[in-house]
């Protein structure tokens, strides 16, 4: 019996093409260094895909949650969780995770610097909401926080960003004036 040629592709590839960048951004935010972020994402994705990959469609929220829990486990294992949360913005600024051509756009640069100035908990929510495209309900499940807490953090974060962006813009302008 003759069979037709079947050209197939594993579903995880198209799934990862859709969600990989967002997940990596979150992993970078959760980890201390960009190279550790890739390990974190790989470990979390492989664990979740082995469990649910046969269904062909995995909710991204599961991988976000796995990333966060693994990040906490890894940090605990070396007893540096506190240090991680304090240093994360310094060691791994969010702007490194975006297209470098943004350097041409001062407003966007200021926006990313403003996001980096947010407290870790608020930045987490902004990352999941804006770039992860999760609902507040999904974010609350990912972060193990109540819906109200998550929504409040997001609201506060936006208020702070509204204030931080003009500051960042003016700081940059004054810095460039001094350099001249």
Partner 1 sequence: MNEYEQLEAELRSLKPLPPGEAFSSKLEKALGSAGNLAVRRLPDAEDSSADFLPSVPPESNPLPFTRLFFYTGCVGAGLAAVWALFFYLSNGLIAPSYVTEAEQPLFTDHFAAQVDLPVDDPESPVHGVTLGQLQDTSPMPVMGWSDPQNRERFLRLVDEGIFQRPSGVPARRVRHYYMDETLWSHPASDMRILSTSPREEVIFIELDTY
Interface residues with partner 1 (CB under 8 A) are: 1-14, 16-17, 20-22, 24-25, 38, 41-42, 45-47, 49-51, 53-56, 97-99, 102, 107-108, 111-112, 115, 126, 130-131, 158, 161-162, 165
> Do 118 and 160 form a contact (C-beta atoms < 8 A)?
yes
DSSP state of 100: G
- Among residues 167, 165, 174, the alpha carbon closest in space to that of 115 is found at 165
Residue 6 or 178 with smaller CB distance to partner 1: 6
Angle at 28 between CA 26 and CA 31, to 5 degrees: 110
- Residue 144 C-beta: closest distance to partner 1, Å: 20
- Residue 71 C-beta: closest distance to partner 1, Å: 17
User: How far is 159 from 72, CA to CA, in rounded Å?
Assistant: 28
- Residue 24 C-beta: closest distance to partner 1, Å: 5
Residue 91 or 98 with smaller CB distance to partner 1: 98
Residues in the chain, overall count:
180
Residue 2 or 79 with smaller CB distance to partner 1: 2
The two tokens of residue 120 are 């870790």
Residue 11 or 59 with smaller CB distance to partner 1: 11
User: How far is 155 from 135, CA to CA, in rounded Å?
Assistant: 14
B/e letters for 18-29, b = 16+ CB within 10 Å, e = fewer, are ebeebbbbbbbb
Residue 27 or 75 with smaller CB distance to partner 1: 27
- Residue 128 C-beta: closest distance to partner 1, Å: 12
The two tokens of residue 167 are 């500051």
- Residue 47 C-beta: closest distance to partner 1, Å: 8
């Amino acid at each position: 019996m003759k069979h037709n040629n079947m050209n197939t592709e594993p579903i995880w590839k198209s799934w990862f093409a859709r969600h990989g960048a967002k997940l990596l951004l979150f992993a970078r935010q959760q980890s201390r260094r960009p190279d550790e972020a890739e390990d974190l994402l790989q470990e979390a994705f492989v664990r979740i895909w082995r469990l649910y990959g046969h269904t062909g469609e995995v909710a991204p929220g599961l991988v976000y949650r796995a990333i966060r829990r693994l990040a906490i486990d890894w940090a605990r294992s070396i007893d540096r969780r506190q240090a991680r949360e304090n240093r994360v913005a310094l060691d791994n600024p969010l702007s490194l995770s975006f297209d470098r051509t943004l350097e041409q756009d001062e407003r966007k640069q200021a926006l990313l610097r403003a996001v980096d100035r947010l407290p870790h908990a608020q930045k987490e929510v902004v990352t999941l909401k804006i770039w992860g495209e999760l609902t507040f309900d999904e974010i609350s499940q990912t972060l193990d926080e109540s819906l109200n807490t998550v929504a409040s953090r997001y609201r506060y974060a936006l208020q702070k960003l509204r204030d931080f962006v003009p500051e960042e813009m003016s700081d940059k302008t004054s810095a460039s004036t001094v350099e001249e």
